[in-house]
């Protein structure tokens, strides 16, 4: 049964993605658990709905044509307004469809809860993201470095991104890798992912926050664990990622530098900070919400236990 | 004296903005010149500006809606053009001009096209279908119209003086806050919504009371036409949902004007509250628009199939269910705001539940045609086009309700395609079908069929070409409101979408030509019977156009579709005994209040507080003064009624 389902899903994916490159159709070429489950859901629900709407469209046109007045049919019945069989169809077809889709919604919404860390006992790798006008700041607290407009993350390991924004409300979206979620000033939202293979993927702010928001984009580099460790070490020495655009290098990212960074600007080059102020993310949220206290990240088991 | 209004507020900053202003002013001056040249001011004053007649108010609403449809469409065309042009360059809309156009398009199409179109059709049709002489509160009705017209004026003048909002039609803070957007644009948006929100709420009250109190004798709730049922449910939604919007924009206005912190990110404000309040109105809004459109389709399908609607009672229950559930789904507009999985899943499923009654309706329209005699009147084209295209939009709507799918399509062109798929084939096709269906009732001659069908094909094909590519672009990750396309790969699909917009342009031109040809040939297309489509409900039992009092004698109803039943039995309808008729006296007061509302809002936008106080005093004075007028109804004797009936038509089809 499982094989049949998998074969069916893969077949449908191949069918829909023929000719769609990863770059132009990122959602249909997912990476990792989150993106794959999203695509699986998209395909299954599309098929279920097509099973309903295609007959409805065909039936509408067919009935309208068949009973056109010029056809002169003799079964005209102006009082035909009720039939047990037809009424059963009209209620149960939508009801069963929606019941099926509703069940899937319940299951998949919990499965793809953006706050749920992937993996059970392993502590996720933490990255902090701050949406600024119009650039992305990523802080890697464990490595003690920060990057602008470039996200680097390890494969084969659960990752949690803490997200906030300053000063606009935006959204972070890496199609096919993480689900979209808002970034809001004074608040922390989260996204979790677990990539299986090294790859590159575009990410963006998908929510209007001023002219230029469409250029608030970044490249996500997923690296093999060893490569990632080497990159983190290199970044602390100001070394750019191999094979990517050379980064501008700055010394330390603290609140004083952040105040300069937060000023609205476009086309900010990829920038590396060799060291960071450890509490910077918390301090940024506290600019708006002084009582905010950053909690430690749960593992998957801890999260499921708490919820 | 002029607050923050200076010479710099005039649109000399860009050629396109100046062109838009010049067209607006030019069209306005041209209308004034035509009215003067043909000496139509007296006619206009007597028949429209001072009228309290629901039919004329309805016609004015529809005129406003059609004018704003053109304005909103020009915005759409500019956006399609800009996105296409910017795939290979920078395009022609500089700075945040694209966002002004975007915000104006959304605001206009929802508040000043769809809503007035709905209010206009309902105003015209509702009392006629109920067998009533007018709505419950004719003065309030005129007041609603003139306040709506005032806010329309506010949106139009923003093109000439100052700028419009760039915060989108949803105006989320903190972007719409005073720190990020200190200019007049957001204030124009707030005041236009605030005033028209009041107007629409009063309209809702009026319709509810009319339906509850002014039904013809014998018309129980379960004998009302489906259109009336949809209007009732839609009005209840108005009553519950609109205050949320009015309060939300008022609080946002306070944040901007008095630096309060309702929706700011800091100092204890909560920007998520605005999002919640806006969509507590915003989602029901979609249903209050689409329900009357469903009502139109029900009337059209039944009439042109020559049958009663299939499953009347199921249709009614479905409508009522949609009404209730529509108020329990608003959170699906922000699944991405980080609520818990359980909250998101509950709202996702409640959203899908609406698919059940809606699906049932689609099936019932299908089976109304089954064993009928379907005549392909132009309204039937719009209805069939709706049924085919709407189920696609319904399916993508259900996809959005599946929370993890929404995470991936939210804020993208996919979403834009989805809601246009509901609002164009759903709402607009319905209203246009209604316009072509009831036009002969309003003016006494039918609309040209050929140009109507051409308009339909322009819209149906244009819609498909314009929005199907947007579904694909959304899956490619294109965020909505993108002024500069960052990926040249999007160009081919954007070209297709632009061609679609041009087809819609043809559809709009065809609508105008249809009107022109129909008026030109009106002598050949006179509706002498009052019943050109072999109608089923009470409005077809009276002459076209109806006399001021609608029904000389009030009909008695004993079943659904009473007029069709009477015709089939070969007999006449039953009427109450004749008697004198009371009609409201025309008055200029609603217009005065509407114009004052416009002046007051304009003054507030530009911080001209002396003018604000002056306009407020005029409004207050008009309301107080009006309450001292006792003779606001006049009586027509039976003889005058008979004379008017002969004069207006003399062609009551032997039914009256």
Per-residue tokens: B566: 């009477």
Of B363, B385, B474, B569, which to mutate for an interface test with A (greatest number of A Cβ within 10 Å)?
A: B363
Per-residue tokens: B339: 């609520």
Q: Which residue positions in chain A have pLDDT lower than 70?
A: 1-23, 307
Q: What is the pLDDT of residue A1?
A: 47
Q: B526 phi and psi, to 5 degrees?
A: -60, 140
Per-residue tokens: B638: 């039976």
The three-state (H, E, C) secondary structure of B315-373, written as one string:
HHHHHHHHHHHHCCCHHHHHHHHCCCHHHHHHHHHHHHHCHHHHHHHHHHHHHHHCCCC
Structure confidence by residue, pLDDT tens digits, B578-591: 888 999 999 999 99
Q: Which of B312, B310, B400 is nearest to B355 (CA)?
A: B400
pLDDT band at residue B642 using 50, 70 and 90 as cut-offs: confident
Map residue A68 onto helix, strand or coil. Answer: strand
C-alpha distance from residue B105 to each of B73, B76, B81, B199 (Å): 7, 7, 14, 21
Q: What is the pLDDT of residue A21?
A: 57
Of the listed ranges A276-280, B319-323, B572-576, the least confidently predicted one is B572-576
Q: What is the pLDDT of residue A20?
A: 55
Q: What is the pLDDT of residue B398?
A: 93
pLDDT band at residue B200 using 50, 70 and 90 as cut-offs: very high
Q: Between B166, B174, B405, which is nearest A167 by CB?
A: B174
Q: How many residues does chain B have?
A: 656
Contact A93 B308 (CB under 8 A): no
Per-residue tokens: B49: 């500006």
Q: What distance in Å separates residue B591's CA from the closest CA in chain A?
A: 38
Q: How confident is the model over B326-338, as a mean pLDDT?
A: 95
Q: What is the pLDDT of residue B270?
A: 94
Q: What distance in Å separates residue B479's CA from the closest CA in chain A?
A: 5
Which residues have CB under 8 Å from B33's CB, separation 6+? Answer: none
**Do B649 and B544 meet the contact criterion of CB atoms below 8 Å apart?**
yes
Q: Between B173, B180, B404, which is nearest A41 by CB?
A: B404
Q: What distance in Å separates residue A251's CA from the closest CA in chain B?
A: 30
Per-residue tokens: B427: 């709402």
A103 to chain B: nearest residue by CA?
A: B349
CB contacts < 8 Å between A and B, how many?
282
**Do B383 and B365 meet the contact criterion of CB atoms below 8 Å apart?**
yes
Strands of B542-636 (E only): list them. Answer: 555-556, 574-575, 581-584, 633-636
Of the two residues B410 and B7, the one the predictor is more confident about is B410
Question: Is A36 buried (19+), middle (13-18) or exposed (0-12) by CB count in 10 A?
Answer: middle
d(CA B441, CA B353): 37
Q: What is the pLDDT of residue B293?
A: 98
Contact B391 A57 (CB under 8 A): yes
Q: Between B349, B411, B485, which is nearest A102 by CB?
A: B349
Give the single-character DSSP code of A153.
Answer: E
Q: Between B175, B272, B359, which is nearest A94 by CB?
A: B359
Q: A220 phi and psi, to 5 degrees?
A: -95, 125
Contact A113 B340 (CB under 8 A): yes
Chain centroid to CA A36: how far?
11
**Do B601 and B548 meet the contact criterion of CB atoms below 8 Å apart?**
no
Of A78, A95, A134, A163, which to mutate for an interface test with B (greatest number of B Cβ within 10 Å)?
A: A78
Per-residue tokens: A68: 């056109």
Residue B655 above 50 pLDDT?
Answer: no
Beta bridge partners of B584: B633
pLDDT band at residue B639 using 50, 70 and 90 as cut-offs: confident
pLDDT band at residue B405 using 50, 70 and 90 as cut-offs: very high
Give the single-character DSSP code of B423.
Answer: I
> Helix B378-401 to helix B355-369 angle, to the nearest 10 degrees?
150
Q: Between A38, A42, A95, which is nearest B356 by CB?
A: A95
B314 to chain A: nearest residue by CA?
A: A87
Structure confidence by residue, pLDDT tens digits, B534-565: 999 999 999 999 999 999 999 999 999 999 99
> Helix B429-443 to helix B449-475 angle, to the nearest 10 degrees?
160
Q: How confident is the model over B341-350, as a mean pLDDT?
A: 96
Residue B202 above 90 pLDDT?
Answer: yes
Contact B174 A185 (CB under 8 A): yes
Residue B647 above 80 pLDDT?
Answer: no
Q: What is the pLDDT of residue A7?
A: 53
Map residue A168 onto helix, strand or coil. Answer: coil
Structure confidence by residue, pLDDT tens digits, B483-537: 999 999 999 999 999 999 999 999 999 999 999 999 999 999 999 999 999 999 9
Q: What is the pLDDT of residue B7?
A: 82
Beta bridge partners of B583: B634
Cis? peptide before A134, omega within 30° of 0: yes
B261 to chain A: nearest residue by CA?
A: A288
pTM, to two decimals: 0.94
d(CA B257, CA B604): 10
Q: How confident is the model over B432-442, as a mean pLDDT?
A: 97
The three-state (H, E, C) secondary structure of B437-491, written as one string:
HHHHHHHCECCCHHHHHHHHHHHHHHHHHHHHHHHHHHHCCCECCCCCCCCHHHH
d(CA B434, CA B428): 10
Q: Between B265, B308, B360, which is nearest A185 by CB?
A: B265
Q: What is the pLDDT of residue B553?
A: 92
CA atoms within 13 A on the CB side of B610: 3
User: What value does the CA radius of gyration of chain A take, rounded to a whole number of Å?
Assistant: 25
Q: How confident is the model over B450-460, as a mean pLDDT?
A: 98
Residue B310 above 50 pLDDT?
Answer: yes
**Do A97 and A279 meet the contact criterion of CB atoms below 8 Å apart?**
no
Of A32, A63, A99, A109, which to mutate for an interface test with B (greatest number of B Cβ within 10 Å)?
A: A109
Sign of CA dihedral A74, A80, A84, A89: positive
d(CA B206, CA B238): 11
Q: Which of B348, B349, B298, B346 is nearest to B319 (CA)?
A: B298
Per-residue tokens: B118: 């709905």
d(CA B329, CA A242): 48
Q: How confident is the model over B221-240, as a mean pLDDT?
A: 97
Residue B378 above 70 pLDDT?
Answer: yes
Q: What is the pLDDT of residue B483?
A: 93
Of B408, B475, B490, which to mutate for an interface test with A (greatest number of A Cβ within 10 Å)?
A: B408
Q: What is the pLDDT of residue B90?
A: 85
């Amino acid at each position: 049964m499982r094989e049949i389902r998998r074969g069916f899903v893969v077949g449908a994916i191949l069918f829909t993605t023929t000719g769609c490159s990863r770059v132009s159709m990122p959602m249909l070429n997912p990476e990792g658990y989150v993106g794959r489950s999203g695509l699986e859901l998209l395909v299954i629900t599309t098929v279920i709905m097509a099973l309903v709407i295609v007959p409805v469209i065909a039936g509408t046109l067919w009935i309208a044509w068949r009973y056109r007045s010029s056809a002169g049919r003799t079964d005209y019945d102006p009082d035909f307004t009720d039939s047990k069989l037809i009424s059963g169809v009209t209620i149960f077809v939508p009801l069963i469809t929606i019941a099926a889709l509703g069940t899937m919604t319940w299951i998949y919404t919990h499965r793809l809860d953006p706050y749920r860390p992937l993996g059970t006992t392993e502590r996720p790798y933490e990255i902090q993201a701050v949406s600024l006008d119009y650039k992305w700041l990523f802080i890697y607290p464990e490595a003690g470095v920060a990057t602008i407009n470039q996200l680097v993350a390890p494969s084969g390991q659960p990752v949690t991104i803490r997200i906030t924004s300053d000063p606009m409300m935006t959204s972070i979206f890496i199609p096919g890798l993480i689900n979209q979620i808002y970034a809001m000033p004074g608040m922390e939202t989260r996204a979790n992912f677990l990539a299986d293979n090294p790859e590159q993927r575009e990410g963006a702010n998908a929510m209007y926050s001023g002219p230029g928001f469409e250029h608030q984009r970044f490249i996500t580099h997923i690296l093999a664990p060893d490569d990632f460790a080497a990159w983190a070490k290199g970044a602390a020495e100001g070394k750019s990622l191999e094979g990517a655009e050379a980064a501008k290098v700055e010394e330390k990212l603290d609140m004083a530098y952040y105040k300069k960074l937060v000023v609205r600007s476009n086309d900010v080059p990829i920038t590396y900070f060799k060291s960071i102020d450890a509490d910077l993310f918390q301090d940024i949220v506290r600019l708006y919400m002084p009582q905010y206290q950053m909690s430690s990240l749960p593992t998957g088991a801890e999260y499921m236990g708490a919820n | 004296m002029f607050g923050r209004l200076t010479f710099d507020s005039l649109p000399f900053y860009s050629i396109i903005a100046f062109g838009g202003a010049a067209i607006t002013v030019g069209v306005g001056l041209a209308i004034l010149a035509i009215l003067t040249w043909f000496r139509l001011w007296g006619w206009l004053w007597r028949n429209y500006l001072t009228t309290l007649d629901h039919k004329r108010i309805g016609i004015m609403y529809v005129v406003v809606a059609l004018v704003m449809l053109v304005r909103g469409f020009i915005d759409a065309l500019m956006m399609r053009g800009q996105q296409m042009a910017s795939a290979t360059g920078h395009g022609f809309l500089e700075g945040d001009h694209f966002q002004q156009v975007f915000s104006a398009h959304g605001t206009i199409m929802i508040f000043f096209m769809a809503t007035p179109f709905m209010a206009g059709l309902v105003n015209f049709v509702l009392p006629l279908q109920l067998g009533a002489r007018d709505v419950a509160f004719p003065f309030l009705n005129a007041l609603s119209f003139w306040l709506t017209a005032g806010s329309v004026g506010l949106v139009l003048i923003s093109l000439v003086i100052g700028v419009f909002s760039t915060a989108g039609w949803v105006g989320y803070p903190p972007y719409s806050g005073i720190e990020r957007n200190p200019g007049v644009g957001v204030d124009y948006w707030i005041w236009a919504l605030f005033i028209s929100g009041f107007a629409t709420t009063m309209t809702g009250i009026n319709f509810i009371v009319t339906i509850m109190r002014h039904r013809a004798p014998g018309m129980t709730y379960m004998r009302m036409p489906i259109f009336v049922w949809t209007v009732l449910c839609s009005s209840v939604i108005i009553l519950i949902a609109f205050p949320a919007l009015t309060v939300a924009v008022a609080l946002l206005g306070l944040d901007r004007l008095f630096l309060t912190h309702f929706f700011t990110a800091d100092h204890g404000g909560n920007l998520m509250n605005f999002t919640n309040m806006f969509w507590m109105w915003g989602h029901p809004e979609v249903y209050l628009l689409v329900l009357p459109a469903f009502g139109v389709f029900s009337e059209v399908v039944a009439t042109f199939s020559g049958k009663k609607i299939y499953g009347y009672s199921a249709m009614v229950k479905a409508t009522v269910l949609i009404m209730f559930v529509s108020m329990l789904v608003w959170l699906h507009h922000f699944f991405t705001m980080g609520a818990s999985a359980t909250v998101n899943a509950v709202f996702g499923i409640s959203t899908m539940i609406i698919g059940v009654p809606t699906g049932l309706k689609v099936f019932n329209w299908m089976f109304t045609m089954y064993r009928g005699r379907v005549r392909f009147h132009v309204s039937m084209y719009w209805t069939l086009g709706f049924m085919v295209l709407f189920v696609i939009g319904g399916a993508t709507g259900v996809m959005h309700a599946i929370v993890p799918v929404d995470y991936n399509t939210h804020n993208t062109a996919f979403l834009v395609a989805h809601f246009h798929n509901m609002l164009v084939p759903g709402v607009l096709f319905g209203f246009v079908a209604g316009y072509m269906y009831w036009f002969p009732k309003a003016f006494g001659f039918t609309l040209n069929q050929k140009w109507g069908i051409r308009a339909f094909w322009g819209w149906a094909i244009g819609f498909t070409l314009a929005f199907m590519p947007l579904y694909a672009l959304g899956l490619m990750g294109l965020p909505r409101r993108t002024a500069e396309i960052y990926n040249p790969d999007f160009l081919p699909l954007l070209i297709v979408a632009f061609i679609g917009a041009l087809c819609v342009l043809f559809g709009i031109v065809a609508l105008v030509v249809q009107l022109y040809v129909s008026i030109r040939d009106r002598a050949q297309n006179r509706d002498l019977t009052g019943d050109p489509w072999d109608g089923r409900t009470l409005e077809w039992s009276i002459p076209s156009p109806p006399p001021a009092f609608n029904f000389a004698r009030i009909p008695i109803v004993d079943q659904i579709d009473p007029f069709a039943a009477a015709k089939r039995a070969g007999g006449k309808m039953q009427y109450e005994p004749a008697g004198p008729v009371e009609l409201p006296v025309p008055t200029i007061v609603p217009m005065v209040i509407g114009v004052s509302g416009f002046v007051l809002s304009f003054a507030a936008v530009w911080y001209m507080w002396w003018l604000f106080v002056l306009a407020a005093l005029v409004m207050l004075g008009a309301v107080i003064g009006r309450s001292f007028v006792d003779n606001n109804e006049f009586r027509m004797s039976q003889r005058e009624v008979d004379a008017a009936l002969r004069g207006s038509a003399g062609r009551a089809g032997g039914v009256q």
